[in-house]
Chain A
Amino acid sequence: MSGYQGKKNIPRITSDRLLIKGGKIVNDDQSFCADIYMEDGVIKQIGENLIVPGGVKTIDAHGRMLMPGGIDVHTRFQMPDRGMVSADDFYQGTKAALSGGTTMIIDHVVPEPGISLISSFEQWREWADSKSCCDYSLHVDITEWHKGIQEEMEALVKDHGVNSFLVYLAYKDIFQLTDAQVYEVFSVIRDLGAIAQVHAENGDIVAEEQRRILEQGITGPEGHVLSRPEEVEAEAVNRSVTVANQTNCPLYITKVMSKSAADVIAQARKKGTVVYGEPITASLGTDGSHYWSKNWAKAAAFVTSPPLSPDPTTPDYLNSLLSCGDLQVTGSAHCPFNTAQRAVGKDDFSLIPEGVNGTEERMSIIWDKCVVTGKMDENQFVAVTSTNAAKIFNLYPRKGRIAVGSDADLVLWDPDMTKIISAKSHNSTVEYNIFEGTEVRGGPLVVISQGKIVLEEGNLHTTEGSGRYVARKPFPDYVYKRIKARSRLAELRGVPRGLYDGPVCEVSVTPKAMTPASSAKTSPAKQPNQPVRNLHQSGFSLSGAQVDDNIPRRSTQRIVAPPGGRANITSLG
């Protein structure tokens, strides 16, 4: 618990001690009935007939489910974008999160290219420390690549408790890195024991398509989705999986928005790649048909990247993959802009600031779409909303589990509560809610954050600035156990050979300036080959001493078996 920062001296209400009686505790592995006693923001006892001090505030759960508070792994509160700032700051954002049953958020630090990672990180810390109402942590985005960045990453991992870095394959000429740079970033990340996150879209193709679509006179928000087809997302996912495999680096795909991208992740996992996929509230709860809305402001409210898929079966599909474990964690990518801000792009969709809401609706949407429909059970629900995130980012078991010693971040969940999501009643500051009118079943009755009751009977009691920064250590077991084993195996060895002593052709050193050789040179005589024949016999100085079964084995191995015997057409899986 070394991550506690200095801000613990907030005036405490006397009822810092809390007892929850008669709840059904739901962890990711099992559910059981027990009472919980909390003190000083930490769970002290779990069991029946607990012996607790007198005068403790008691909540009677009446057999309702008590689960670890949600962790929203992807938010962008207060994110600067071209001089504007996303509409929800850390106060509004975390308030919305708490009201939805999320007790921890992980925000993204987005350093402008040219600005130091550490100073951006400090800037975000400052913003969040002064405003956040719940615990938080930070991912850092890598928006450019040079030697200095590598040192800063080291410092962030070692001294600042950051263990995840995001790279962008999109946003050409702004944030985008080349494949070679991504390879180097991943290599560094693996050595540091962090997680490589990827915003997966092929920025080159997106840029070309944007130009083409603007040329065709399409300037509205529908151009956003037309210029970013889901194939482009799937391609980038596939590419980052490839690079991650090469570098033996754990990979985390943020914002899985389409079926094809999810499929690529699922396939890669089947092949054994260490890759995690993060669908967001928007991709699980709605689709991209709204980009064609006649109401510009409404259509613009859905603009995010990668875009919501226009295929209306996408949410259902992603929910199924989330339920079966092919996708593991859920975020919200909460980064809303108000309509006036969006209107910056009223004549050119490529200028619309990107981001949708979702931090408040996340838990309820997943409950409604997955648990109510029978795709997953309550334990898997806890896993995808909280536990897996805590494991991947090395917060487990402090977060993501109800156990003695864990933080007292709890949610008393009411599976029968229904509500209709609307911009009128939500806690975000924006005018549009992309889930407008959706009726969801399931919601938090009581939310306890840092051992204090934050939501009770529909009333929020948040304290601005009470959120602590939670430092995260590198090499999370959940991710790195496999990586470590593989890096031990993956040592490559050269073949010991005798020195090649035959003739060597002469070449010009600078191949690039070569003109094609003239046709007079086209028939090299066979003479120079003569000395080479010796090579069959020579050059084996080491061959006797080593395992030289290579060569004799070959000749027998290559003889064809009787037709139809060896090769079998059914062997094609």
Chain B
Amino acid sequence: MAERRGNRDKAEDELPVYLARPGTADQVPRQKYGGLFCSVEGAFESKTIDFDALSVGQRGSRTPRTAKRETGQEARSPATERRSTDGAERQRETAQPEIRSGCGKEVLQNLGEEKSDRLLIKGGRIVNDDQSFHADIYMEDGLIKQIGDNLIVPGGVKTIEANGKMVIPGGIDIHTHFQMPYRGTTTVDDFSQGTKAALAGGTTMIVDHVIPEPGSSLMESYDQWRQWADEKACCDYSLHVDITHWNDSVKQEVDNLIKEKGVNSFQVYMAYKDYYQMTNSELYEVFTFLAERGGIAQVHAENGEIIAEEQARMLQMGITGPEGHVLSRPEELEAEAVFRAITIASQTNCPLYVTRVMSKSAADIISQARKKGNVVFGEPITASLGTDGTHYWSKNWAKAASFVTSPPLSPDPTTPDYLNTLLSSGDLSVTGSAHCTFSVSQKAIGKDDFTQIPEGVNGVEERMSLIWDKAVTTGKMDENMFVAVTSTNAAKILNLYPRKGRIAVGSDADLVIWDTDSIRTITAKTHNSTAEYNVFEGMELRGAPLVVICQGKIILEDGNLHVTSGVGRFIPCSAFPDFAYKRVKARKQLAVLRAVPRGMYDGPVSEFSMSRGGTPSASARTSPTKQPVRNLHQSGFSLAGNPAPCGPPTPDDIPIRPAGRRIVVPPGGRSNITSLS
């Protein structure tokens, strides 16, 4: 540790501190030209903060909420008192991060210190998705203001001594269903409870799904969700909107949501027949529209038609328990729907996002499609990464029912390991939790018929720890990849990067100090969700957040949560995220189709009936004469001399092709069986 500090002192001799390349003494060309944001080859050009990109979110929602934030401060005051006593006895274990309030002279200099939300993290190792380095972070007003060594900060700043622990961007849970209405009841975790659980697990932003009832207005539902979340959310949030039916007015609403309401991702359902499910033609139209407007098409991928048939069969056979849920939704149906969605997306040149990748076969299809160059992102969820579907056969009905979600957890116990591997290799891109919990009495709606069991599992709290445990401690991925799949990739897809998902000057102060060694056992007794069951019950996970900072404020420290309902801001997402659309745009330019200019066909034309309902014609007509048609070989070539304007191979228009071209080469010469890869 001492050595490291020494290095940094040297580096700082030559440079203004805030420009020093953190953690290294190398010559860095950039400082010579002085500008923090000038793009110099080899410098951090792609990582430079683009303030224009940030302005989208900050404009609308930041200022109005300051009042609320102050009330948040007051609510927190007991905790603050406790923290100062902590500060007094700060000579504890050196390995633990310490939090120090400003004291003594510093306090005198900065009387308003408590309100200004200034925070300094010293001695942490900053982990972004591209690299890790040692540096201090100074935050003010919920933004990261400085990163570097020996920062010059105002006095009286609250300081966290990270002691070399990892500081990572707060997690983004890209898929939650808090407070989701379901047949007159609501999921037990509302936005307050849900975001509290999220923060406890190191997730500082959630993206919830707005689910309009088929037939109702998207915009009204969106407003409803905004209202619920604004009242209660404890962390920043954003919204996906689900398209549950399709017509021109929905199209108009989607357009408005993208342009005015900061929604850039829309989910369609291929399951839930006669309810949410869309036909292939509708999917095609939705995808085409989203591709034009720069949205991301999300799909719930399962073949609803076959499921409906299988469900009927199961119930007929007398299988009514939760095992029927997984038996009626085999993983092939998921893979089939993923395949179909990818086909349609590739036809319409629309970026695709597959929510809830639950099975090996579905993940395989996604990775194959990515290899073929399709723009497709896969989202495994906490449950599919952490547990499997063997529990559906549990004798305890309530336990079995708590695992019910769609697509179901795969009964194949090797699935979690496989999905973690694909997540590590980059074939799957982001992780969500699909947190959508129901109490046992709610699940019991389907006690006699598994198709009635409300669907959803927990996972928002466990997500980060679980991925750390399953993927990082096992050596599948490194800490940078961990940041990418838990936070950065999600931010990029939502077009929130680099405001979220990165520790950089100008980014939001959503940070987590991660303890790689802490071990805890997941149990429903201690979790923050209201549900009675936890699908990860009894699992021992290594890795947990030590300190969680959200909007520049300390939310979790020493195992204590200090959350304030309603401080969460809506973060609008703008259309055409580069991460997805750069490739799509390039392809659009290429994909122009052209017709072949031909002379008018002037030969004879058969008579035919337009309606296909006609009866088969009599066999007397079966031998049409060849006579008139033969002329055609010579006629109809008025344009034939013109040059062919376009790419595809244009075989000669001579009626009988030059014989030389198609002549077979000697046996074994041309065709080669080894060319079959």
Chain A residues engaging chain B, CB cutoff 8 angstroms? 78, 80-85, 87, 89, 92, 112-115, 120, 123, 127, 131, 172, 174, 178-180, 183-184, 202, 204-205, 207-209, 213, 216-220, 222-223, 226, 229, 231-232, 234-235, 238-239, 242-243, 245-246, 289-290, 292-299, 310, 312-313, 316-317, 319-321, 323-324, 338-341, 343-344, 346, 368-369, 372-375, 420, 422, 429, 431, 436-441, 492-500, 502-508, 511-517, 519, 521-524, 526, 528-529, 532-533, 535-536, 539-540, 542-543, 546, 548, 550-551, 554-555, 558-560, 563-564, 566-567, 569, 571-572
Contact = CB atoms under 8 A, between A and B. Distances in A.
Interface string B296-336: 00000001011011100010011111011001001011011
A522 B189 CA distance: 8
Contact of A292 (B424, B540, B651): B651
Most interface-central of B181, B335, B395, B396 (chain A CB within 10 A): B395
Given A179-B305, A506-B184, A572-B418, A235 B339 contact: yes
B122 interface: no
Nearest to B280: A204
Nearest to A351: B608
Contact of B309 (A83, A183, A507, A523): A183
A431 B630 contact: yes
B108 interface: no
Given A532-B439, A569-B476, A497 B321 contact: yes
- When A and B form their complex, which 10 residue pairs have the shortest distance between CB atoms, in order from nearest? A204-B280, A294-B653, A80-B616, A179-B305, A242-B336, A235-B343, A89-B622, A320-B676, A563-B473, A180-B305
Given A112-B612, A508-B184, A522-B190, A296 B636 contact: yes
29 contacts: A81-B608, A82-B614, A123-B616, A172-B281, A183-B305, A184-B309, A217-B595, A239-B340, A242-B333, A242-B336, A297-B603, A313-B675, A340-B629, A431-B626, A438-B662, A441-B664, A495-B393, A495-B400, A496-B395, A498-B397, A500-B444, A502-B440, A503-B441, A505-B442, A514-B213, A519-B227, A522-B186, A529-B439, A571-B421
A344 B609 CA distance: 10
B632 A83 contact: no
B667 A372 contact: yes
Most interface-central of B309, B420, B447 (chain A CB within 10 A): B309
B601 A297 contact: yes
B648 interface: yes
Interface in B161-220: 179, 181, 183-186, 188, 190-193, 212-216
A516 B622 CA distance: 63
A505 B661 contact: no
Given A295-B655, A437-B659, A340 B624 contact: yes
Interface in B564-611: 593-601, 603-611
Most interface-central of A123, A204, A232, A564 (chain B CB within 10 A): A204
B666 to A, nearest CB: 9
B532 A532 contact: yes
B249 interface: no
B608 to A, nearest CB: 4
Given A312-B649, A521-B186, A563 B474 contact: yes
Most interface-central of B192, B542, B601, B630 (chain A CB within 10 A): B601
Contacts of B324: 494
A89 B542 contact: no
A323 B193 CA distance: 61
Given A179-B305, A529-B439, A560-B540, 19 more contacts: A85-B622, A87-B622, A87-B623, A114-B613, A202-B280, A243-B306, A292-B596, A294-B596, A296-B599, A492-B314, A497-B395, A506-B185, A511-B275, A513-B213, A516-B216, A526-B530, A539-B397, A563-B474, A571-B414
Contact of A180 (B309, B418, B536, B619): B309
B66 interface: no
A521 B314 CA distance: 34
A62 B633 CA distance: 43
B255 interface: no
A532 B644 CA distance: 76
Contacts of B424: 569
